[in-house]
Amino acid sequence: MFKHMISRGFAGVLLCLLVSSAQADRLKDIASVQGVRTNQLVGYGLVVGLDGTGDKTSFTSQTFRNMLTNFGVILPANQNPSSKNIAAVAIHADLPAFAKPGQTIDITVSAIGDAKSLRGGSLLMSPLKGADGQVYAIAQGNMVVSGFGAEGRDGSRLTVNVPSVGRIPNGASVERVVPSSFAQSDTLVLNLHHGDFTTARRVAEQINGLLGPDMATAMDSTSIQVRAPRDPSQRVSYLSVLENLEVQPAEEVAKVIINSRTGTIIIGQNVRISPVAITHGGMTVSITESFDVSQPAPLSRGATVITPRSGVEVDEGSGHMFEFTPGTSLQEIVAAVNQVGAAPGDLMAILEALKQAGALRAELVVI
């Protein structure tokens, strides 16, 4: 039954690719399969071979001593194996879904002590563990550090980028497979990257239209449950059909996003404004202080007196007023604000006032 549906599915996908609109998105771009995900790994290790830019922290010395002990080198208890050519580092990586033992992944190495630079160093064999405490990869290799630092004898220092962080391409070898529930049930769940009831309904309708009725069911605004074959090979072909299916996503919720720290303002295309009149202008009050000298007449036996004098000037500026009609669009809002020469801070104040007045038909988000 599923083989027949898959053959029908490939033909249907080809037809969809021919007649779909330019704004349609592939299902693989807007959704992911539940359970098919990356896993974070973290580890601790030593970087050696540094040119005097390492650290001398106590935990680095302890780690170095333990490493030498594992190789049969026993140091005296009163000897501190501190060296500026080694550094303690934290290692992290992302383990892709379905990664198999023997495959390699990229890793990032970061100094956790007072090491000034990891440039030229080599990471010694370090285990990478998952959230369950199990070792899933082993890391080792020479680092690529983009940062550079130089220091003079007088204390002057020049640093380019960040020399205390480096990368090792293919620096870890996968040692354990992450258990997956990919082929353990008769259904799959597709999760939208951005939950929307309309988009979820359209995805279910597209799948049902391609493979037959009742093949997909929208469970909520994010998840769509799809019937699928349990055989792994058939399931891979089945998902290959579904992920290339093109769907027209729903329009986003009307939002205005304001970053108060950088002055960045994002206005969504669905933002509308009710009938409202806005005035934009400035008032400048200038207060100046000066001093007058009162000089007495000759032979009057008077004293010279200094008297203060204050001046106040008010500049109301050139005020502007513009009116928004019902259903005003984003382009009209931007054009009106640009016409009066409003700065980002002025535009923020205008948008907040519109929201308080109930004239802004959008969600105002301040980050």
Question: For residue 255, is pLDDT > 70?
Answer: yes
For residue 188, the enclosing domain spans 2-36+181-247
Q: How far is residue 266's CA from residue 274's CA, in Å, rounded to a whole number?
A: 19
Q: What is the CATH number of the domain that holds 238?
A: 3.90.1150
Q: Which residue has the higher pLDDT, 310 or 105?
A: 105
What pLDDT does residue 44 have? 95
What pLDDT does residue 92 have? 96
30 and 49 share one domain: no
Question: For residue 203, is pLDDT > 50?
Answer: yes
Confidence of residue 319 (pLDDT cuts 50, 70, 90): low
Q: Which residue has the higher pLDDT, 37 or 328?
A: 37
Question: Does residue 307 lie within any of the structural domains?
Answer: no
What pLDDT does residue 21 have? 41
Question: For residue 14, is pLDDT > 50?
Answer: no
Q: How far is residue 93's CA from residue 107's CA, in Å, rounded to a whole number?
A: 5
169 and 223 share one domain: no
Q: Which residue has the higher pLDDT, 98 or 345?
A: 98
24 and 48 share one domain: no
How many structural domains are present in the chain?
Answer: 3
Question: Does residue 262 lie within any of the structural domains?
Answer: yes
What pLDDT does residue 135 have? 96
What pLDDT does residue 320 have? 56
pLDDT digits (tens, 9 = 90+) for 149-189: 555 555 555 566 788 899 999 999 999 999 888 878 889 99
What pLDDT does residue 111 have? 93
Question: Does residue 301 lie within any of the structural domains?
Answer: no
205 and 93 share one domain: no
Question: Does residue 85 lie within any of the structural domains?
Answer: yes
The mean pLDDT value for 280-284 works out to 50
- Out of 174, 191, 213, pick the residue that ends a domain: 174
What pLDDT does residue 219 have? 95
pLDDT digits (tens, 9 = 90+) for 64-94: 888 888 888 887 777 777 778 899 999 999 9
Question: Residue 5 in 3-state DSSP?
Answer: helix
What pLDDT does residue 16 have? 38
Question: Does residue 75 lie within any of the structural domains?
Answer: no
155 and 240 share one domain: no
pLDDT digits (tens, 9 = 90+) for 1-11: 444 443 333 33
> What is the overall mean pLDDT for the chain?
79
- Out of 174, 197, 226, pick the residue that ends a domain: 174
23 and 49 share one domain: no
Question: For residue 299, is pLDDT > 60?
Answer: yes
What pLDDT does residue 52 have? 86
43 and 163 share one domain: yes
What pLDDT does residue 163 have? 87
Question: Does residue 62 lie within any of the structural domains?
Answer: yes
What pLDDT does residue 189 have? 94
Confidence of residue 340 (pLDDT cuts 50, 70, 90): low
56 and 141 share one domain: yes
147 and 218 share one domain: no
The mean pLDDT value for 204-230 works out to 92
Phi, psi of 294 (to 5 degrees): -95, 110
pTM: 0.68
What pLDDT does residue 10 have? 34
Q: Are 120 and 51 in contact (CB under 8 A)?
A: yes
283 and 359 share one domain: yes
Position 360, amino acid: L
Question: For residue 247, is pLDDT > 70?
Answer: yes
Q: Which residue has the higher pLDDT, 356 or 220?
A: 220
**C-alpha distances in angstroms, 45 versus 111, 117, 333?**
10, 16, 56
- Out of 153, 174, 195, pick the residue that ends a domain: 174
**Quick one: 221 exposed, middle or buried, by C-beta within 10 A (0-12, 13-18, 19+)?**
middle
CB atoms within 10 A of CB 364: 16
What pLDDT does residue 160 have? 62
Q: Which of 248, 185, 235, 198 is nearest to 9 (CA)?
A: 235
What pLDDT does residue 192 have? 95
The mean pLDDT value for 37-63 works out to 89
Helix axes 232-243, 197-211, angle to 10 degrees: 120
- Neighbouring-strand partners of residue 216: 226
29 and 47 share one domain: no
What pLDDT does residue 151 have? 58
143 and 265 share one domain: no
The mean pLDDT value for 268-290 works out to 62
Q: Which of 174, 366, 124, 195 is nearest to 266 (CA)?
A: 366
Q: Which residue has the higher pLDDT, 135 or 357?
A: 135
Question: Does residue 326 lie within any of the structural domains?
Answer: yes
The mean pLDDT value for 57-63 works out to 84
Question: Does residue 21 lie within any of the structural domains?
Answer: yes
Confidence of residue 328 (pLDDT cuts 50, 70, 90): low
